[in-house]
Amino acid sequence: MTAANFPLASIRIITYQNADFIRRCIDSVLMQKTTFPFEICIGEDGSTDGTRETCMEYAENYPEKIRLFLWDRNDERRKGMAPSRFNFLNTISQCRGKYIALLDGDDSWTDKNKLQEQVTFLEDNPEFALCFTNIRLVNQSGNITVKSLLNYKTDEFTHESFVAKISPPTLTTIFRKNALPLNYPDEFYKVTNADMFLKSIISQSGKVKFINKVTGNKCLHGSGVYAGTSPFKKEENKLKTYQAMLKYFKSKKVKNNIKSAMNIIYAKLLFNYLKQRKFKPFFNTLSATLRFYTLNLQAPPIKFFYAQLRNKKSSILSREKVQVENHL
């Protein structure tokens, strides 16, 4: 490959059991209009529902664009890792572009100029390490349920104002490859919410930009390894990721951000376990919460509990809300 054809950007797609969505996902990248070459790196993680065969078909039809990596779910190197971590890390490591855009096999882009606009921004603003855009929510049939999801008071964030406070959708996130860590912390291989952890690590290398423009569809559905997980389990997984991040980051401000986020998750779990009369996990979580308060000098989030008592009709752990919050 000549320098003129070397990809400026790599689009990392990871997929597992996404037969109903993968064509829409790949087509949304192939439609991108850019002034620079880009590659599509697909990590297929041993699907048995036809996803792997579809990816192979696309790789054969678009050899100049698509590089397909077929991972083995019995690979010895996966031992001790969270289920999707091997695919996540190994596919990113194969990306050759200066910039890496993230996309999962059940989501898709909707704006043909998305990649061009975000890469141009990062090229023109070297002080930024990562940028992301707005998204809309769709159901499994592709029907829109929320037209525009994100609303922030500002469009620029520092590391201290970003970690545990801002949740960029993975499907619209693009970052500089040189912002990736040389070595990942041990905890990173075990947590479920690796995207959230990785974006936080990247934010140490530069500012984060939010472009308030809808460029992708986040598909909410109940299939797949992650989407089929219960709302309670997703909150528990997020809590474990924050615990790992609390050990990793050194900034006092960032640590305080993480502790505040953990405090809210403990409150969510307690409120909903009690509401659904799940007494055993309620008391287990209460014990963990009290330890957290003691060790981290935290107090119960009174405003949170007050808000829930005023709005008993809404469940904090509604399926749609948890899917959005934990899978961005």
Mean pLDDT by runs of 10 across the 328 residues of the chain is: 80 96 98 98 97 98 98 88 89 98 97 98 98 94 89 97 97 98 90 94 98 95 57 89 95 96 93 90 93 86 67 50 50
Three-class HEC string of 46-89: CCCCCHHHHHHHHHHHCCCCEEEEECCCCCHHHCCCCCCHHHHH
Q: What is the pLDDT of residue 232?
A: 83
Q: What is the per-residue pLDDT for 279? A: 92
- Residues forming beta bridges with residue 44, ordered by sequence position: 15, 70
A 10 A CB-CB count for 200 gives 22
Contact 43, 72 (CB under 8 A): no
pLDDT reported for residue 73: 87
